[in-house]
Amino acid sequence: MAPRRTTLLALTTGITLLATAGCSSSFGDGGDTEQKTGGKQELTVLIGTSGEAETAAVRAAASAYEEESGNTVDVQVASDLNQQLGQAFAGNNPPDVFYVETHQFANYASGGSLYPYGEHITDVEDFSATLRQSFTYDDQLVCVPKDTSSLGLVINDDLWEQAGLTPDDYPATWDDLRRVAGELTDGSVTGLVTSSEYQRLGAFMRQAGGWITDPAQTTMTADSPENLQALEFVQGMLQEGTWKFATEVDAGWAGEAFGKGTAAMTIEGSWLAGALETDFPGIDYTVLPLPEGPAGPGTLAFTNCWGVAQQSAHRDAAVELVDFLTRPDQQIAMGNAFGAVPSRESAAADYLAEHPGTEAWGASGDGVQGPVTVGGFDRVVGQFNTDLESLRTADPARILADLQSYGEAALGAGN
């Protein structure tokens, strides 16, 4: 026994020593980060890019800022943005400026990792109210949206004509949608193919007058009759076979099915344009607003925001960089490069005038719903999305009841 006890003792001593050494040196905690002022500032930017086009556009904008300000900007592309940001925050060494996805926003904001800079941005009222609401925490606008995209109904022009349909048949209501999807479905072609996530199907909940939470995101409203009506409508079309989810037609996502021509219609945002141009050039399509439901028009808007790290030593310069990147001319340049609709309403108007046919992707106003941005809500919507996969055979009321109870638990824990 003697040797074993010695081993244990030595190991424990070693661990204790290492723990003391490790904790005392590398982590610095508490207090505000000291700011570096004056002279040339070196900024790091971490982005989760949608592709080459976006990376190139951000790099170009960053070098334009370098020339204007004299600071240097290092743009890094994350392979897994949330994981890399999480590690960087935990290690007290975050990039100065980075993309923040809506579902991580509440988590970072409540953790105090984001420097709320909204009031320092030029003409901040120009950003659409829905998007500003998404990025407000504790009544402060924490970060500004880098661009926006709302969902539109995208139709394949060739398949539309082959089915004997004309522009007069463009669906304006749910019934219209159901009818044209039925006429378009033929053999290997399915009328409507979308992904099964709430990030698409939720638009129908909005059109029926419902949504997952109330506007202030403090109460769950998932098990409402409006939401049920929306899911039952979707279920009806799924059972008729005129609407299918992307996995059912062997596609990784709806855009792939649309590009291959196995889907006559799909519901996607402006990112579809870039993807089609890269993978399926030469396909003719038309972007329409989503059909109106019983409660009028409704669509979902998506965006990321430009986060500035609370721990950054160059916060002023970082805010200056964000201010530069969200200038109308820069936003329009980004839009030209990879199809992102500007998040400033003035710039969006100019951009959409320049790019006719994409208005539906830049929807603004009452019917536009942003995603849920409550802390800890990620796994709740994850479960909701899992349940929606089997919507065709499942009981919609049960799905919504589960969402309601899981959501209430998460809201209770988050507040």
Partner 1 sequence: MHKPALRGRQGPWGWLFVSPSVLVLGLFLALPIVMALWVSLLDWNGQSNPFTGGQATFVGLDNYRGLLTEDGLDRTLFATSLRNNAYYVLLFVPLSTGLGLTLAMIVNQRMLRGRSLLRTTFYFPSVTSTIAVSTIFLFLFQGSGAVNSLLSWIGVKGPNWFADPRGIVWVTLGNLGLADPNHPSGFLTDHGFMGLSWFEWLSGPSVAMSTMILLATWTTSGTFMLIFLAALQDIPRELEEAAALDGVNRRQLLRHVTLPALRPVLFLVLTLALIGSWQVFDMVYVMGQGAPGNTTLTPAFMSYQSAFKNADYGQGAAIAFILFAIVLACTGAQRWLLRERNPRQGRRR
Q: Which of 1, 30, 164, 216 touches partner 1 by CB under 8 A? A: 30
349 binds partner 1 (CB under 8 A): no
> 152-156 and 263-268 as β-strands: parallel, antiparallel, unpaired?
antiparallel
Q: Are the beta carbons of 70 and 99 closer than 8 angstroms?
A: no
CB of 363 to partner 1, least distance (A): 29
Tell me the C-alpha distance between 233 and 240, whole Å.
Answer: 11
Q: Does 412 bind partner 1 (CB under 8 A)?
A: no
Closest distance between partner 1 and the C-beta of residue 215, in Å?
Answer: 24
Query: Is the Cβ of residue 239 or residue 386 nearer to partner 1 in the bound state?
Result: 386
Q: In whole angstroms, what is the distance from residue 332 CA to residue 339 CA?
A: 9
Alpha-carbon gap, residue 55 to 329, rounded angstroms: 18
The minimum distance between CB 405 and partner 1, in angstroms, equals 9
Asked whether the beta carbons of 106 and 414 are under 8 A apart, the reply is yes
Nearest CB to partner 1, comparing residues 166 and 188: 188
8 scored as a contact of partner 1 (CB under 8 A): no
How many residues bind partner 1, per CB under 8 A? 43
Shortest distance, position 114 Cβ to partner 1, whole Å: 10
- Which of 8, 27, 37, 239 is in the footprint of partner 1 by CB under 8 A? 27
Quote the tokens at residue 191: 């009328």
Smallest distance, partner 1 to C-beta of residue 393, A: 7
Which residue's entry shows tokens 């199809």?
339
Is 414 an interacting residue with respect to partner 1 (CB under 8 A)? no
Q: Which long-range contacts (CB under 8 A, 24 or more apart) does 274-281 make?
A: 274/50, 274/51, 274/53, 274/338, 274/339, 275/51, 278/51
In the 8-state DSSP scheme, what is residue 301? E
Pick from 102, 113, 190, 326 the residue near partner 1 by CB under 8 A. 113
CB of 235 to partner 1, least distance (A): 15
| Residue 251 phi, psi dihedral angles, 5° rounding | -120, 145
Residue 73 or 411: the one with the smaller Cβ distance to partner 1 is 411
Amino acid at 278: T
Q: Residue 10, interface with partner 1 (CB under 8 A)?
A: yes
The interface region with partner 1, picked from 47-55, 142-150, 247-255, 346-354 by CB under 8 A, is 247-255
Contacts of 56 (CB under 8 A, 6+ apart): 337
390 binds partner 1 (CB under 8 A): yes
DSSP character at residue 372:
P
How far is Cα 217 from Cα 201, in angstroms, rounded to an integer?
19
CA distance 188 to 260: 11
111 touches partner 1 (CB under 8 A)? yes
Q: Which of 183, 292, 359, 378 binds partner 1 (CB under 8 A)?
A: 378
Residues 251 to 280: which contact partner 1 by CB under 8 A?
none
Q: Is 304 in the site for partner 1 (CB under 8 A)?
A: no
Question: Is residue 22 part of the contact set for partner 1 (CB under 8 A)?
Answer: yes
Which of 166, 393 has the CB closer to partner 1?
A: 393
Taking contact as CB under 8 A, which single stretch among the options 47-55, 76-84, 131-139, 296-304 is the one that binds partner 1? Answer: 76-84
Could you report how far apart the first and last alpha carbons of the chain are, in Å?
53
Cα angle vertex 94, ends 89, 96, to 5°? 140
CB burial string 338-371: b at 16+ within 10 A, e below: bbbbbbbbebbebbbeebeebbbbbbbeebbbbb
- What residue ranges bind partner 1 (CB under 8 A)? 6, 10-11, 14-15, 18-19, 22-23, 27, 29-30, 80, 82-83, 86-87, 89-90, 92, 104, 107-108, 110-113, 247-250, 376, 378-380, 383, 386, 389-390, 393, 406, 409-410
